């Protein structure tokens, strides 16, 4: 089986999670490096539901009404975040600035520091190396600015999906297909993101589920880097040299779409294959709508919707209001009967945010924070699955 050389087996997901939390706590604790400001909440903490009716706080002084976004790369999922943030900034009268890091961690750090020096009032940042950017994000929080992140800390508003549940939703769909369409037997490729340890639970769910099917063989369990369509294409081409007959491919939408391109180029695509991804990217939705594509399912984490919500809360922060400390991005299994509504919501996230019922299908909010209590920012790998 093709594996990452540096990925080692350990004894069970719970123990891996405990070890990871311990290591992460050390990495971001005050003892790990000299602190110029409060360390935030570094211990595992369960947050109550967000209460929007709490009293207002102070407006951050000396900061500009600018919402900035440091974007890791141009994959559609992150472009969706950009679209949602830009719409929210426009609707709330904020100036919007975006910087594309192009998978360059050093550039991401430099851009975050540049935005902090320019005294932006709100910053959202994504990076393939959370450890490298964490210090700069922390300094931005200390400046009084709103800081939003997607999965890794630190942040005044941290977004995460229930990662194990997200991976399980995709795996359950794949298992049903294997049993019904493939006679219970399948050669499976897992495109993981285990180098991003915050996402590990979704891939643990895949391995746990597939391990229960005797006829399943995982022929490759590997993390393409960066997480792009191009990486998926290149990695799949390598896998096909040793394993030309692939039945199932699971991973993020971008890399699985790259795998689909490689299968088609090699003449190894079949209508009875199951390719499934996570993120609900437009190209994945397009493939699902074809009906005869190997790409059968995507677990939606609607990035324009949560991007818009994050932009709205950034504006609230600058207005001195209380905002959530953490937010769940709820996974939705896209099927033929809900794709039309999903596409409408992708195009118009403002309408979703304005409707509490529709918003509740995508997002769930926890905790409260504002400028006056910014020392209570999230600085541990929060997940709502900690409540279970």
The closest alpha carbon to 267, from 297, 232, 287, 237, belongs to 237
Q: Are the beta carbons of 105 and 133 closer than 8 angstroms? A: yes
Tokens of 338: 């809900």
Q: List the structure tokens of 269.
A: 């695509």
What pLDDT score was predicted for residue 198? 80
User: Residues 331, 299: contact at Cβ < 8 Å?
Assistant: yes
**Predicted pLDDT of residue 36:** 82
pLDDT at 85: 98
Is-cis flag, bond preceding 226, omega within 30? Answer: yes
388 residues of the chain, pLDDT tens digit each: 544 434 433 334 333 333 233 333 333 333 334 458 999 999 999 999 999 999 999 999 999 999 999 999 998 999 999 999 999 999 999 999 999 999 999 999 999 999 999 999 999 999 889 999 999 999 999 999 999 999 999 999 999 999 999 999 999 999 999 999 999 999 999 999 877 778 899 999 999 999 999 999 999 999 998 889 999 999 999 999 999 999 999 999 999 999 999 999 999 999 999 999 999 999 999 999 998 999 999 998 899 999 999 999 999 999 999 999 999 999 988 877 788 889 999 999 999 999 999 999 999 999 999 999 999 999 999 999 976 5
- In this structure, what token pair is assigned to residue 223? 């993390």
pLDDT at 197: 78
Whether the CB-CB separation of 278 and 312 falls below 8 Å is answered with no
CB-CB neighbours of 223 under 10 Å:
22
Q: Tell me, what's the pLDDT at 386?
A: 76
CB 322 within 8 A of CB 56: yes
Measuring CA to CA, which residue among 82, 63, 58 is closest to residue 120?
63
Q: How far apart are CA 129 and CA 279, in angstroms?
A: 20
CA angle 41, 316, 85 (to 5 degrees): 95
Burial label for 195, CB within 10 Å (0-12, 13-18, 19+), is middle
E-strand ranges in the chain read 2-3, 64-71, 95-100, 120-125, 146-150, 157-160, 186-191, 216-222, 248-252, 274-279, 295-300, 326-329, 332-333, 363-366
Total-model pTM: 0.81
Give the bridge partners for 68, in sequence order.
97, 123
For residue 285, which of 203, 225, 346, 353 has the smallest C-alpha distance?
346
Instruction: Round to whole Å and give the CA distance between 272 and 386.
Output: 37
């Amino acid at each position: 089986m093709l594996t990452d050389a540096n990925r080692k087996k350990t004894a069970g997901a719970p123990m891996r999670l405990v070890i990871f939390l311990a290591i992460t706590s050390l990495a971001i604790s005050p003892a790990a490096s000299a602190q110029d400001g409060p360390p935030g909440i570094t211990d595992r903490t369960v947050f109550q539901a967000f209460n929007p009716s709490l009293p207002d706080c102070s407006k951050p002084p000396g900061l500009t009404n600018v919402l900035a976004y440091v974007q890791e790369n141009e994959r559609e999922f992150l472009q969706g975040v950009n679209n949602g943030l830009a719409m929210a900034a426009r609707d709330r009268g904020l100036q919007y600035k975006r910087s594309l890091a192009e998978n360059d961690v050093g550039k991401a750090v430099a851009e975050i520091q540049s935005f902090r020096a320019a005294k932006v009032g709100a910053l959202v940042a994504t990076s393939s190396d959370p450890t490298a950017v964490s210090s700069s994000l922390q300094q931005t929080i200390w400046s009084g600015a709103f800081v939003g992140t997607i999965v890794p800390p630190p942040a005044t508003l941290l977004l995460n999906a229930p990662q194990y549940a997200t991976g399980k939703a995709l795996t359950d769909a794949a298992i049903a297909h294997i049993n019904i369409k493939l006679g219970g037997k399948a050669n499976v490729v897992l495109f993981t993101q285990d180098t991003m340890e915050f996402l590990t639970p979704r891939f643990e769910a895949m391995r746990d589920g597939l391990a229960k099917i005797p006829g399943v063989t995982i022929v490759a369990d590997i993390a393409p880097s960066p997480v792009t369509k191009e990486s998926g294409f290149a990695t799949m081409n390598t896998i096909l040299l040793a394993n030309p007959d692939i039945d199932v491919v699971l991973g993020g939408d971008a890399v699985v779409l790259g795998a689909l391109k490689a299968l088609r180029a090699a003449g190894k695509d079949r209508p009875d294959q199951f390719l499934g991804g996570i993120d609900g990217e437009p190209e994945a939705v397009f493939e699902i709508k074809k009906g005869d594509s190997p790409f059968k399912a995507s677990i939606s984490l609607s990035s324009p919707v949560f991007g818009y919500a994050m932009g709205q809360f950034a504006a609230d922060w600058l207005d001195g209001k209380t905002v959530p400390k953490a937010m769940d991005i709820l996974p939705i299994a896209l099927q033929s009967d809900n794709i039309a509504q999903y596409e409408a919501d992708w195009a118009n996230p403002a309408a979703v945010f304005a409707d509490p019922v529709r918003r509740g299908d995508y997002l769930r909010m926890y905790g409260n924070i504002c400028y006056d209590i910014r020392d209570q920012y999230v600085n541990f790998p929060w997940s709502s699955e900690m409540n279970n």
